[in-house]
Amino acid sequence: AIRSVSVYLSDFGAEQQAREDVSGPAGVWQQQQQAGGGEEGEEADGAEADNEKLRRYELSRFRYYYGVVVCDSVATAEHLYAECDGAEFEYSAMSLDLRFIPDEMSFERTPRDAATT
């Protein structure tokens, strides 16, 4: 059985969120071309999201967090690994990357979310 599941902010996620707090998501906008012969140096009315860059950004956000599952036995953990490693997460084109974590490993950050049985 699963004893608990916890979700933690990754180092990558912490760095990216700090950057986004200052300047928003980087590299997802494309400037619109000037229509109607606007003056040199005049900015376009707005910017649109570049769909491919926005998709890559959204996929990278899956790396902001990671989950830790505590199982009641090695057999349970091995079964979860065999069934779920490499499985696609909710039609996202992102595969689950499962790893075994030693029992003595500790985590510095407080979990964002946690559930226990």
Q: Which helix (H) or strand (E) segment is 45 a member of?
A: none
* pLDDT mean values, one per 10 residues, the chain (117 residues): 96 92 80 50 57 83 91 96 93 88 92 95
Give pLDDT, residue 43. 40
Say what the pTM is.
Answer: 0.72
Put residue 93 in one of left, alpha, beta given phi > 0 → left and psi -120 to 50 → alpha. left
Give pLDDT, residue 44. 45
Give pLDDT, residue 88. 93
d(CA 11, CA 66): 10
